[in-house]
Amino acid sequence: MSRIPISDYMPSDFFSRQALELSFRLLRNNHPLLAHAIKQTIDNTTAVSYEELQSAYTGEMLLNTDVLASLKAHTIGKIVSALTDIGEAALRQNDLPPNHMALMRTLIEDWVQLTEWVLQHSASDHNDKTAYH
């Protein structure tokens, strides 16, 4: 039996629907607009077929390109920030069991990996004339 985690075999072009659903639940009370954007993504994005995943993962996965098209990079950044704030508050209050903190850490890491994927796969838009170029 291999000791290499299954995530090492998982292509980086996919994002977990379960991560979206958990993020929605965590954000819906204090960040309703972000939660709504996530809910729209859940409702309007088709899961990748099991065959396309090459049996590497049994949960429903979405293509990063579809998640990005729905949420946009700016919103993904806000989600990472909001989840990080929630995690920091839980650490300060020390009121969550260790398994919940581990789940929170993994969820934030998933979003950070998506952010890194966005940065790696985004070509600069030559038609964009905003001042930061």
Average pLDDT of the residues in 22-28: 97
Average pLDDT of the residues in 88-108: 91
CA 35 to centroid of chain Cα atoms: 12
Does residue 8 register a pLDDT over 50? no
Does residue 108 or residue 60 have the better pLDDT?
108
Model pTM greater than 0.85?
no
Distance, in Å, from the CA atom of 23 to the CA atom of 30, rounded to the nearest integer, reads 12
Does residue 122 or residue 27 have the better pLDDT?
27
